[in-house]
Structure 1
């Protein structure tokens, strides 16, 4: 494992470009493929790209809020005391890697948004506390733990498949979560990932001479910013007292939590990305104690959203070309056409992994691949629940080679994609065995 991860790390360091450049290369690849393999003209492909380019603006904002609100929570005084205590469970660098992977996987199983931020923040604390820890591997471990989210409680595809009004309901009906999230195969895969990946990551620990510890600059506190962009005012004027009012903080926090409870009572218990962001937002405000203390924390975290703002539109453009040109459907059709009842879930898994390079979004996968995969499952007599989950598994699996979802963790960590991708690609092989075993054995 150590040799394999070292090999892939060296390859990534030499050949993997910055995620923004990677997104541009993928865009050009899809553009040319649409012309060559689907017969569309360059003008049509340009139109598809432009029509999709801004389709992820809402999602980009959601992801930015996940990043900044999660970072603000971690920087609160209460969390600065609690996270180190939790990190204290690990006594050695190898134990630190295992702990980060395990807790990140658990958190991502509960909710992917929470897991995305918690894992990176916790890895940073572990790197600070345990001397001799490889910072790159710790951050990679936090991202690797996210591989469980597709089969977790916030898994997009199983929740969509069970939701009335989803695009597949009229043709194929609803797929209850008893056939997806709470199935034997999903329980096996999820538990296996949670237990095996921490052990696998432990064996990726670099040799002592190759370890890269956390940069002390990353531990420096962000400069406090006042309400007018300069240093915080110390004079106790009326404006300053209002800006630091605990009463205002508690009132808005009460309203925020009241709305969350109200929505669960009236609409049923549901935790989606907006719910996570609202809870994270008001919890961070509560922990910091005043509006301006919270704003200073948000200001320090917001600088990490640059990659999200720049790259998400390019992936939206890719999704537009893959969807409107029919290229994504063609890839899925090609693999499904050679499937049998027994092999359909495997080919659905593999095709989802391929499509994920260009559409790293479970919702996008469901729109493009859902009709083809479920149609084939209906024709061949295969399990629709397993077929649907195979799409979700393929998306999570190939995230280990696709840096899109690593952007929030990298922004928090202050690292580049080349620092972690070698470890993630090694995990691609380990987790692939687990996913395929679960898909084919049940």
Structure 2
């Protein structure tokens, strides 16, 4: 296994381009395929791309905030001490890989946005304390927990179909989470991955001579410096804890109200609110909070300038009907026994080009639900097959790795050699879940 991962890492390091280059190549490829496989002309595809370019603007801003606010929270003295105290108890590289994978899996099952950031922050803190641990594998392990998100409490597809008035209610009705998230096949997949993936990742730990430890430069933190205090109202407010206390009370009060009235529901907006409110409180003064925010925003450039290109790709895939073409390929080779399995595989393919769970559901649901009707298949299980396919190929699709990579200070090619084997390993487990349950 160690030989295979070494070869995989070498191939990825030499062949996998920067995520921006990857999305640029993907853009050209989708445009070409749209012209060849659909009735769209080159001009049509360009128009679809341009019309969709800003389709993820709101989501992009949410991701920028989740990354920046996560950084702000992690750099607060209290939170740093908390992470450091946990990481300091880990002594062995093998334990580091197992623990960071398990923590990431649990966090992503609760909420994917929370899990993505916390897993990477925890991994980076572990790198400060544990010697001889491969930093690439440590970050890959933190990211690998993301595989579980669509089978968890914040899965966008199962939550969407459980909501009254969802776009496909006329076909499948309102589907409770007992028919999606809490079904035997989904629980089988989640439980098996949760209790085997940490040890699989540990199995990929390179030989001592091949280990790449963290570059100490990546662990150096900019020291916050502040001008001398002046006897002015502006200076006083910047250093005052009164505003922090008041804003903290408002934020905490809202969060208590939210959870009291809506139950334990987490979406990106609530995760961001938690991160921001705790960041404000833990930094103590507005001046320290703003200084941390200014540092954290530097890590978000990859998201800001790459997500619009993925939105453009989604526009081409949707408007041209290319996503439907891909789905129909798999339907054509499916039968009653393999339908869910090939739905899962088709979703994994489409996810390369439409890496948004909600966007992929909107694209694939009409054709896959129609096929389910023809074959007499279960609508809820069809929806979950699409959900797991969307989550599965995220392991080798740089779109979702960007936040973790920004926190870690690595490039996609540094971790994708390991993630390729995570893809294969989890793909077997998910396939068994859909084939035999």
User: TM-score, length-normalised on structure 2?
Assistant: 0.97
The residue that corresponds to 1:228 in the other structure is none
CA contact (8 A) 1:223 1:300 kept: no
CA contact (8 A) 1:323 1:368 kept: yes
Instruction: Write the deviation string for residues 202-241 of structure 1: whole angstroms up to 9, x where unpaired.
Output: 111111111111111122222436xxxxx53444543222
* Mapped pair 1:280 → 2:275: yes
What's the secondary structure of 1:399's corresponding residue?
helix
Displacement after TM superposition at 1:417 (Å): 0.8
The residue that corresponds to 1:290 in the other structure is 285
Matches of 2:55 and 2:186, distance apart in 1 = 31
The residue that corresponds to 2:325 in the other structure is 330
CA contact (8 A) 1:233 1:240 kept: no
Displacement after TM superposition at 1:259 (Å): 2.2
Among residues 387, 391, 398, which one is paired with 1:396 in the alignment? Answer: 391
Matches of 1:193 and 1:207, distance apart in 2 = 25
CA contact (8 A) 1:151 1:392 kept: yes
The residue that corresponds to 2:58 in the other structure is 58
* Mapped pair 1:360 → 2:336: no
Instruction: Write the deviation string for residues 100-150 of structure 1: whole angstroms up to 9, x where unpaired.
Output: 101000100011011000010000011110111111110111101111111
Displacement after TM superposition at 1:265 (Å): 4.5
Q: Single out whichever of 169-178 and 80-89 deviates more from structure 2.
A: 80-89
For structure 2, list consecutive stretches of 5 or more residues without a partner in the other structure: none
CA contact (8 A) 1:342 1:382 kept: no
Instruction: Write the deviation string for residues 318-353 of structure 1: whole angstroms up to 9, x where unpaired.
Output: 000000000001111221132222211101100001
Displacement after TM superposition at 1:269 (Å): 4.7
CA contact (8 A) 1:100 1:141 kept: yes
Displacement after TM superposition at 1:270 (Å): 2.7
Instruction: Write the deviation string for residues 288-317 of structure 1: whole angstroms up to 9, x where unpaired.
Output: 111111111111111010000110000000
CA contact (8 A) 1:4 1:426 kept: no
Displacement after TM superposition at 1:266 (Å): 4.7
The residue that corresponds to 1:119 in the other structure is 119
The residue that corresponds to 1:90 in the other structure is 90
* Aligned alpha-carbon RMSD (Å): 1.3
Matches of 1:22 and 1:84, distance apart in 2 = 35
Q: Single out whichever of 162-171 and 314-323 deviates more from structure 2.
A: 162-171
Instruction: Write the deviation string for residues 185-214 of structure 1: whole angstroms up to 9, x where unpaired.
Output: 111111111111110111111111111111
The residue that corresponds to 2:435 in the other structure is 440
What's the secondary structure of 2:395's corresponding residue?
coil
The residue that corresponds to 1:146 in the other structure is 146
Relative to structure 1, the CA distance from residue 274 to residue 381 in structure 2 (aligned partners, 3 Å threshold; closer, same or farther) is same
Matches of 2:392 and 2:371, distance apart in 1 = 22
Q: Single out whichever of 235-244 and 11-20 deviates more from structure 2.
A: 235-244
Matches of 1:165 and 1:263, distance apart in 2 = 22
Relative to structure 1, the CA distance from residue 45 to residue 219 in structure 2 (aligned partners, 3 Å threshold; closer, same or farther) is same
Matches of 2:82 and 2:265, distance apart in 1 = 27
* Mapped pair 1:415 → 2:436: no
Matches of 2:342 and 2:107, distance apart in 1 = 29
For structure 1, list consecutive stretches of 5 or more residues without a partner in the other structure: 226-230
Displacement after TM superposition at 1:418 (Å): 0.8
* Mapped pair 1:188 → 2:183: no
CA contact (8 A) 1:68 1:302 kept: yes
User: TM-score, length-normalised on structure 1?
Assistant: 0.96
Matches of 1:290 and 1:341, distance apart in 2 = 61
Q: Which runs of 4+ in 1 moved over 6 A?
A: none
Matches within 5 A, 1:40-55: 40-55=40-55
Matches within 5 A, 1:37-436: 37-224=37-224, 231-235=226-230, 237-266=232-261, 269-436=264-431
CA contact (8 A) 1:102 1:198 kept: yes
What's the secondary structure of 2:317's corresponding residue?
helix
Matches of 2:131 and 2:261, distance apart in 1 = 50
Matches of 2:236 and 2:197, distance apart in 1 = 50
